[in-house]
Amino acid sequence: MERREFMRACALGVVAAGAALPGVVQGEVEPRMYGRARLTDAGGAPLKSREIPADTNLIFHYPFAATPCFLLNLGRPVRQPARLKTADAKAYEWPGGVGAHSSIVAYSAICSHRLTYPTRDISFISYREERTPTSRHARVIHCCSEHSQYDPAGGAKVLAGPAPQPLAAILLEHDPAGDELWAVGTLGGEMFNDFFAKFEFRLAIEHGAAARRPAEGAIPVVELAQFCRQQVKC
């Protein structure tokens, strides 16, 4: 199996957990597999990749009940893998988009700088199709806290700002027959332990004891505009 095909297979969840990773040198980051969870619409119907609107901020929670992620249809095939590094200089290869047109990507919505994330009250981080006065980049995930910007077509690599590493990628499996999507794991620098430690009090109020509950079964995907009362633009 070619390296690129293998990494796509990892992303599609068809490589058994614990399988050796050919071509990955010691010390590099391996995909981390969590529970397999089907992405659905707000009504519980399976989400079809062809029906996901382009350039629209969609949000779901994975791999835990309280950890938000962006689901984006970039509106064009994203088949080029990206070679990236975590903050501690461990390399990994993001395999590209999935779905019927290879245009669907997903990332943790927890900024790798100071862990800004979208809540039901407010969001300082979101995908922007257009350039803004504070960003010379279009089509980026922009965190308004200190203006870190990430390239969603490049594995969420850092384009600007103080972020020390890309957003962690969410690995998606696509079923071509049904055009359905599952979240299966993560790739890259996870921030979940820091996130739970930093926001322990707030998460306990919002989620009670369920904050760390694994996101399994069916996960609703909603527009950020519906999930969050106020989006900060910058």
Q: Which residues here bind ligand FES, judged by CB under 6 A?
A: 111, 113-114, 116, 143, 145-146, 148, 161-163
- Closest to ligand FES by CB, 153 vs 163, is 163
Q: Work out how close the CB of 145 gets to ligand FES at its nearest, in angstroms, rounded to a whole number.
A: 4
- Closest to ligand FES by CB, 62 vs 195, is 195
One-letter amino acid at 161 equals G
Q: Work out how close the CB of 91 gets to ligand FES at its nearest, in angstroms, rounded to a whole number.
A: 23
E strand or H helix that includes residue 207: helix 200-207
Residue 226 Ramachandran class (φ > 0 left, ψ -120 to 50 alpha, else beta) = alpha
- Closest to ligand FES by CB, 111 vs 215, is 111
- Closest to ligand FES by CB, 96 vs 188, is 188
Cβ-in-10-Å burial (0-12, 13-18, 19+) of 9 comes to middle
- Closest to ligand FES by CB, 72 vs 191, is 191
Q: Work out how close the CB of 180 gets to ligand FES at its nearest, in angstroms, rounded to a whole number.
A: 32
Q: Work out how close the CB of 57 gets to ligand FES at its nearest, in angstroms, rounded to a whole number.
A: 16
* Joined tokens for residue 124: 């300082």
Peptide bond into 166 cis (omega under 30): no
Q: What is the DSSP string of 125-165?
A: EEEESS-BTTBS-SSEEEETTTTEEEEGGGTTEEEESS-SS
Q: Work out how close the CB of 111 gets to ligand FES at its nearest, in angstroms, rounded to a whole number.
A: 3
Report how far residue 151's alpha carbon sits from residue 167's, in angstroms, rounded to the nearest whole number.
9
